[in-house]
């Protein structure tokens, strides 16, 4: 089984991963603090442009990934809109009580959830984990010990998926599927988790030994196969946000 999300490379891929991570985290904090609905809408548009046009993924996959987050948007905002509190009642029917305040707060919260999701997705779709960790080692001085253990762990994920499938087949053969009742749920959980856990622990241990056998040590002075620096793309990325955010804020205040 393979997880393949490879795509065309765009300028978003070429941005320094540490910088990208930093900017996107800052944006998340900004999103938390914004209470102006218009500004929030502008922000969403700014980020959506990047997500829809510059991740290099086929549009079909982008829309597919977008569906769950759109559902999150609808559910968070609608629950706030329908059951929130407020003074100016627009509509009331049984439990449902829509007020002006709850309507706008609902939209705000919905957009906030949506923005978090889109920011995260944009980052994940345009960043190879290996580059991210190389960059973190070089720009943020992350200890190699942590960087390489994360990279090794990422390699284990597809192997674990394959194991999961094998266990699933084995359960079929043994007739576990036919076991019924509440106890069977716990039984199945155990039957899956124990072999997977024991397998992963053993494998992680072996990889750790193999890494040390290849003279891996935790010193920071090592050479790097990928030397990751900064480029004009980074400037474009920062300017994109600075200009559009200022524009969006100005527009929101002026009420456009």
Partner 1 sequence: MERIAHVDKLRLKFPGDTSLIFKDLSSTIYKGEKVLLLGPSGCGKSTLLQVLSGLIPHSIEVPMKAEELVSPPSFGYVFQDPDSQFCMPFVDEEIAFVLENINVPKQQMIDRIHHHLQQVGLHLPNIHTSIQTLSGGMKQRLAIASVLALKPDVLFLDEPTAMLDPKGTKEIWNVLKEVGQEKTVIIVEHKIDHVLEFIDRIILFNEAGQIIADGPKEIILSTYQEEMREQGIWFPGVWEEYLDTTPLLRLRTPFEKKEKILDVQNFKGFRQKEEKIRVDQLQAYSGEWIVIKGENGAGKSTLLHAFMQFIKTTGHCELLGTAIKKVKKQSDFMTFVFQNPEFQFVTNSVYEEIAYTLKVDKKDSREIEKKVEELLEWFRLGDHRDKHPYQLSMGQKRRLSVAASIVNEQKLILLDEPTFGQDSKNTFALLEWIEELRLKGTTIIMITHDEQITNNFATRIWTIEAGKVISDETQSISINPELVSV
Interface with partner 1 (CB under 8 A): 2, 130, 148, 151-152, 154-155, 158-159, 163, 166-167, 169-176, 178-179, 187, 191, 195, 198-199, 202-203, 206-217, 221-225, 227
The least CB distance from residue 119 to partner 1, in Å, is 25
Q: How far apart are CA 71 and CA 113, in angstroms?
A: 10
**Phi, psi for residue 6 in degrees, rounded to 5:** -65, 155
Q: What is the 3-state secondary structure (H, E, C) of 21-68?
A: HHHHHHHHHHHHHCCCHHHHHHHHHHHHHHHHHHCCCCHHHHHHHHHH
Element (H or E) spanning 240, and its range?
helix 232-254
Q: How far apart are CA 102 and CA 124, in angstroms?
A: 33
The least CB distance from residue 103 to partner 1, in Å, is 45
Q: How far apart are CA 44 and CA 160, in angstroms?
A: 36
**Phi, psi for residue 89 in degrees, rounded to 5:** -75, 130
The least CB distance from residue 99 to partner 1, in Å, is 51
Q: How far apart are CA 121 and CA 72, in angstroms?
A: 14
- DSSP class of 1: -
The least CB distance from residue 77 to partner 1, in Å, is 37
The least CB distance from residue 191 to partner 1, in Å, is 4
Q: Is 70 left (phi over 0), alpha (psi -120 to 50) or beta?
A: alpha
Q: Quick one: 87 or 217, whose CB is closer to partner 1?
A: 217
């Amino acid at each position: 089984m393979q997880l393949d999300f490879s795509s065309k490379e765009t300028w978003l891929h070429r941005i320094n991963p540490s910088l990208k991570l930093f900017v996107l985290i800052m944006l998340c904090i900004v999103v938390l603090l914004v209470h102006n609905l218009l500004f929030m809408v502008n922000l969403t548009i700014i980020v959506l442009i990047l997500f829809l046009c510059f991740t290099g993924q086929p549009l079909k996959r982008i829309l597919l990934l977008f569906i769950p987050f759109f559902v999150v948007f609808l559910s968070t905002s609608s629950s706030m809109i329908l059951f929130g509190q407020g003074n100016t009642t627009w509509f009331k029917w049984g439990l449902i009580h829509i007020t002006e305040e709850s309507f706008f707060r609902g939209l705000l919260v919905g957009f906030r959830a949506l923005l978090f999701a889109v920011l995260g997705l944009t980052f994940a779709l345009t960043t190879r984990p290996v580059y991210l960790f190389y960059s973190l080692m070089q720009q943020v001085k992350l200890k190699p010990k942590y960087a390489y253990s994360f990279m090794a762990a990422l390699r284990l994920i597809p192997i674990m998926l394959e194991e999961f499938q094998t266990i699933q087949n084995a359960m079929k053969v043994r007739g576990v599927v036919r076991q019924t009742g509440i106890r069977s749920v716990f039984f199945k959980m155990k039957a899956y988790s124990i072999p997977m856990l024991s397998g992963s622990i053993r494998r992680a241990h072996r990889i750790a030994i193999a890494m040390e056998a290849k003279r891996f040590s935790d010193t920071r002075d090592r050479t790097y196969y990928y030397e990751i620096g900064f480029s004009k793309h980074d400037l474009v990325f920062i300017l994109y946000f600075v200009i559009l955010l200022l524009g969006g804020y100005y527009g929101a205040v002026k009420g456009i």
